[in-house]
Structure 1
Amino acid sequence: MMISRASLARWYRNRFLWVAVILAVTGGAVVLFRATGPDAQPADLQGQIVARMRTTLEQSNPEQHQHAGHTAQQATTGEQAKPAVICGVRVYGHEPAGATTLAEVRTVYGFHLCGVAGQGYPWDVAVKLAGPVILDMSTEPVGIRVVEATADTKFVDRLREMFPPKYAEVALKEALSDSEMADLRRRYDAAAGL
């Protein structure tokens, strides 16, 4: 079989083209895998703040949320296992407002709804920790302050004392989005073994 120089040149050109396509596709797949892997960090600042807020609240003890009068259910097994805290969050804003990286964020204002997921405890009977919350990101561990009424101050007045006006107004009207609530319930049921 005789191969012409033109055919040979075309074959070499196509071979390099196919190698470039394969490299581009596999490189894209590697980038896509890294961006969607289990430890992936959201690319946008808002997503990073939400992830940090949720992680901070879920890794803290219910007592660290500073809610008065709540105690967590104890596991019914022979050992005293710590029940998981599963949280849904909504960020109202952060300071400084002009921050462009998570490292620059000092304070986060938002809302949290957490369920203490003791094994076999359905959502409806779980201890819940909820309300407007402030995270002090400048400390380690992150400081958590919830807005609660005191003996001397009503809840709304306390909220306005603790939150800047633009975030306080949002906090009086909005809690979790429907999608965040659905995700919270799904993760709670999984943690509670339901």
Structure 2
Amino acid sequence: MRKPPARRRGFMAVAAVVVAGIAGTSLLAVLRQADLPQDLHQELAARVTVLLEQASPEEHHDHGHHFEEDAGQVICAVEPFGVAPEGAQDVTQVEWVYARHMCAITGPGTDWKTSVRVAGPLAVRFGHHAEVRVPPPGPGYPERVKELFPERLHDEAFAELDDGPALDTARERFEQAKQAK
């Protein structure tokens, strides 16, 4: 059997590295959600999204977001990555949900790409009066994140929101909200 030419072997090596990178990224996305059952992940994402989108401008201000009253509608993407107590399997067992989020404002004249947005990790406690905690930006931010999240979730708290289904859905909802005006 003849060896393929050096140029073809180089191309095959590059292709193998690209495929491995894509597979690794996909595996990482799956592993990120491995701690949460899929239905719990979806329910927590939906609940936190509604909580953030229905918050008043004052409530947003209390958890670090500064939206003006005439800013338009708030559209959020939420990606839960952990809960307390650890191992909770049902939303009724969850005391705290830890998630990455991104919220955009449909303000006048903006589109998705130019909209005012806020993003980062947050912790939410459900209950009669839900509590949203967002580490304030500025000097000392990494320490404030570490104080807010359990040590087992520090890497996830500093990770970026995946450019996946949660953001795709938020973009679609943003465009629908803009068209409805």
Please, what TM-score do these two structures have when normalized by structure 1?
Answer: 0.65
Specify whether residues 69 and 48 from structure 1 end up closer, same or farther in structure 2 by C-alpha distance, changes over 3 A only: closer
Distance 1:50 1:68 in 2: 20
Q: Give the match for residue 50 of structure 1.
A: 45
Specify whether residues 181 and 69 from structure 1 end up closer, same or farther in structure 2 by C-alpha distance, changes over 3 A only: closer
The more displaced of 107-116 and 59-68 is 59-68
Q: Give the match for residue 146 of structure 1.
A: 134
Compute the displacement of 1:173 (Å).
2.3
Task: Tell me the C-alpha RMSD between the 2 structures.
Answer: 2.4
Distance 2:58 2:120 in 1: 14
- Unaligned stretches of 5+ in structure 2? 1-37
Aligned residues: 143
1:16-35 alignment runs, 5 A limit: none
Specify whether residues 109 and 68 from structure 1 end up closer, same or farther in structure 2 by C-alpha distance, changes over 3 A only: closer
The one-letter code sitting in structure 2 at the alignment partner of 1:70 is H
Compute the displacement of 1:132 (Å).
0.7
Residue pair 1:120, 1:193 contacting (<8 A) in 2 also: no
The one-letter code sitting in structure 1 at the alignment partner of 2:148 is M
Residue pair 2:104, 2:115 contacting (<8 A) in 1 also: yes
Compute the displacement of 1:60 (Å).
0.9
After superposition, the C-alpha distances for 1:103-135 in whole angstroms (9 at most, x for unaligned) are 221101111101122354212332222111110
The one-letter code sitting in structure 2 at the alignment partner of 1:55 is V
Please, what TM-score do these two structures have when normalized by structure 2?
Answer: 0.69
Secondary structure of the residue that 2:100 maps to in structure 1?
strand
1:131 maps onto 2:120 in alignment: yes
The percent of aligned pairs where both chains have the same amino acid is 31
Q: Give the match for residue 192 of structure 1.
A: 178
Distance 2:64 2:49 in 1: 21
Distance 1:106 1:188 in 2: 30
Distance 2:110 2:80 in 1: 28
Q: Give the match for residue 84 of structure 2.
A: 95
Distance 1:126 1:186 in 2: 14
1:64 to 35, 55, 59: 59
Distance 1:64 1:100 in 2: 29
Specify whether residues 101 and 94 from structure 1 end up closer, same or farther in structure 2 by C-alpha distance, changes over 3 A only: same
The one-letter code sitting in structure 1 at the alignment partner of 2:154 is A
Specify whether residues 126 and 72 from structure 1 end up closer, same or farther in structure 2 by C-alpha distance, changes over 3 A only: farther
Residue pair 2:95, 2:125 contacting (<8 A) in 1 also: yes
Residue pair 2:63, 2:133 contacting (<8 A) in 1 also: no
The one-letter code sitting in structure 2 at the alignment partner of 1:74 is D
Specify whether residues 70 and 92 from structure 1 end up closer, same or farther in structure 2 by C-alpha distance, changes over 3 A only: same
Specify whether residues 119 and 184 from structure 1 end up closer, same or farther in structure 2 by C-alpha distance, changes over 3 A only: same
Specify whether residues 62 and 165 from structure 1 end up closer, same or farther in structure 2 by C-alpha distance, changes over 3 A only: farther
Specify whether residues 52 and 190 from structure 1 end up closer, same or farther in structure 2 by C-alpha distance, changes over 3 A only: same
Q: Give the match for residue 15 of structure 2.
A: none
Secondary structure of the residue that 2:79 maps to in structure 1?
strand
